[in-house]
């Protein structure tokens, strides 16, 4: 009897897990992420949760969608800058709206402490790269983590729905 119960439990769990997986042939969500420098000035008071007027940030990441379904997400990341390399990191957003862990000596986010999910590095000026990542429901922040870029406003929030 115990064996039959265990077998039924395993089969039920496998069935439920199968329901949570993307269905075969399900399309990945596509998000265009444009890395933009608006000015030559590197002002540094525009980090996430700073409360600053983000319309005045000298750098930004423009996402084509602010919400996507959970599962496979494909970011087409383009560097619109003429002479500056960028990168794009994906990390979960702190649930309580707290700032990301920041290393002021390096002027970058501590990616490990922030729970980095994935990243694409060395995006040369005028070029594009692709980043494929599987995301669970929640809020994520995408940001450039080169020195001073995050605090110059080069970040955006992405909501992933269940």
Mean pLDDT per 10-residue run, the chain (162 residues)? 40 37 67 86 81 90 98 97 94 92 96 97 97 97 96 96 94
What per-residue confidence (pLDDT) applies to 42? 64
The DSSP bridge pattern shows strands 71-79 and 128-135 to be antiparallel
In terms of Cα–Cα distance, which of 102, 90, 100 is closest to 140? 90
What per-residue confidence (pLDDT) applies to 21? 43
What per-residue confidence (pLDDT) applies to 82? 87
What per-residue confidence (pLDDT) applies to 26? 66
In terms of Cα–Cα distance, which of 77, 135, 87 is closest to 109? 87
In terms of Cα–Cα distance, which of 112, 117, 141 is closest to 131? 117
What per-residue confidence (pLDDT) applies to 41? 64
What per-residue confidence (pLDDT) applies to 40? 62
Going from N- to C-terminal start, the domains of the chain cover 24-161
In terms of Cα–Cα distance, which of 154, 142, 60 is closest to 107? 154
Report how far residue 31's alpha carbon sits from residue 90's, in angstroms, rounded to the nearest whole number.
Answer: 13
CATH of domain 24-161: 2.60.40.420
Burial status of residue 35 (CB atoms within 10 A of its CB: 0-12, 13-18, 19 or more): buried
What per-residue confidence (pLDDT) applies to 1? 44
What per-residue confidence (pLDDT) applies to 44? 76
What per-residue confidence (pLDDT) applies to 4? 40
What per-residue confidence (pLDDT) applies to 72? 97
């Amino acid at each position: 009897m115990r064996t039959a119960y265990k077998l039924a439990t395993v089969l039920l769990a496998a069935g439920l897990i199968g329901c949570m997986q993307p269905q075969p042939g399900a399309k990945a969500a596509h998000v265009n992420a444009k890395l933009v420098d608006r000015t030559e000035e590197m002002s540094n008071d525009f980090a996430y949760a700073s409360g600053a007027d983000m319309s005045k940030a000298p750098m930004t990441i423009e996402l084509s969608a602010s919400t996507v379904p959970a599962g496979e997400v494909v970011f087409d990341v383009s560097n619109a800058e003429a002479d500056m390399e960028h990168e794009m990191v994906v990390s979960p957003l702190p649930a309580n709206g707290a700032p990301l862990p920041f290393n002021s000596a390096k002027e970058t986010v501590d990616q490990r402490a922030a729970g980095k999910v994935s990243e694409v590095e060395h995006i040369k000026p005028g070029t594009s790269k692709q980043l494929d990542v599987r995301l669970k429901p929640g809020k994520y922040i995408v940001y450039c983590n080169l020195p001073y870029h995050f605090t110059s406003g080069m970040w955006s929030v992405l909501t992933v729905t269940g």
